Chains A and B, each alone.
Chain A
Amino acid sequence: SQTIHQWPATLVQPVGSPLSLECTVEGTSNPNLYWYRQAAGRGLQLLFYSVGIGQISSEVPQNLSASRPQDRQFILSSKKLLLSDSSFYLCAWSVVQYASTDTQYFGPGTRLTVL
């Protein structure tokens, strides 16, 4: 069966420090991978998605970046965190056969607090 891991589960970082959040998927090959952000009381905002190694599409311009060094690994990074980066970050995966039946499977999330 497929599983998705995110770490760390929680993170407290000072303003201006770098960030690296990791997501890995097991039990599937060549998945689509996604990073979302969820601010308190708000819906999910898609940040990045990837259809293959080294292929990253950005949805929202900001001080975050994403990389996919391996097929089932997706990394969210920042060189300098802002207070506004405090949020709940979710990784998700999907394996698309038909768009009409495509669904995404979410990881447990990382709670990031920037002080």
Chain B
Amino acid sequence: KQEVTQIPAALSVPEGENLVLNCSFTDSAIYNLQWFRQDPGKGLTSLLLIQSSQREQTSGRLNASLDKSSGRSTLYIAASQPGDSATYLCAVSHNAGGTSYGKLTFGQGTILTVHP
């Protein structure tokens, strides 16, 4: 059974700091790994998707890496801003029982607070 763990559960940093969020998963047989952002009381917004054959993806101040063999991913946020405050969720897409698409298993998220 695939399990996804995110560390830390919560993080509070001053504006401008670079920070790293961690995600680990137990089964390396994945299609991809995805990072989502969730604002309080809202739905999820996709940030980055790393295919299983890739090592990293970048979007603006965000950089996500994937080490599939060790079951780890990191999300690096450069020059953090108060607007980055949200919950960040990691999810892995893995085989959904013989179908052509994947099932997402989510971690519990990291609550990020960036204070001015």
Q: Does B74 contact A (CB under 8 A)?
A: no
CA gap between A94 and B101 in the complex, in Å: 10
Q: Given A94-B101, A102-B32, A102-B101, answer yes or no on A108-B43 (Cβ-Cβ < 8 Å).
A: yes
**How many residue pairs, one in A and one in B, have C-beta atoms under 8 Å apart?**
63
CA gap between A104 and B101 in the complex, in Å: 11
B93 touches A109 (CB 8 A): no
A96 touches B100 (CB 8 A): yes
CA gap between A100 and B51 in the complex, in Å: 5
Q: Given A103-B49, A106-B44, A109-B43, answer yes or no on A96-B101 (Cβ-Cβ < 8 Å).
A: yes
B-side contacts of A92, CB under 8 Å: 44
* Interface residues, chain A, with chain B CB atoms under 8 Å away: 32, 41-44, 46, 49, 51, 88, 90, 92, 94, 96, 99-109, 111
A-side contacts of B32, CB under 8 Å: 99-103
Within 8 A of A (CB), among B69-102: 89, 91, 93, 96, 99-102
The contact of B104 among A42, A104, A109, A111, by CB within 8 Å, is A104
A-side contacts of B104, CB under 8 Å: 44, 46, 104
Closest chain B CB from A3 CB (angstroms): 12
CA gap between A49 and B49 in the complex, in Å: 21
Closest chain A CB from B87 CB (angstroms): 10
The contact of B51 among A49, A101, A111, by CB within 8 Å, is A101
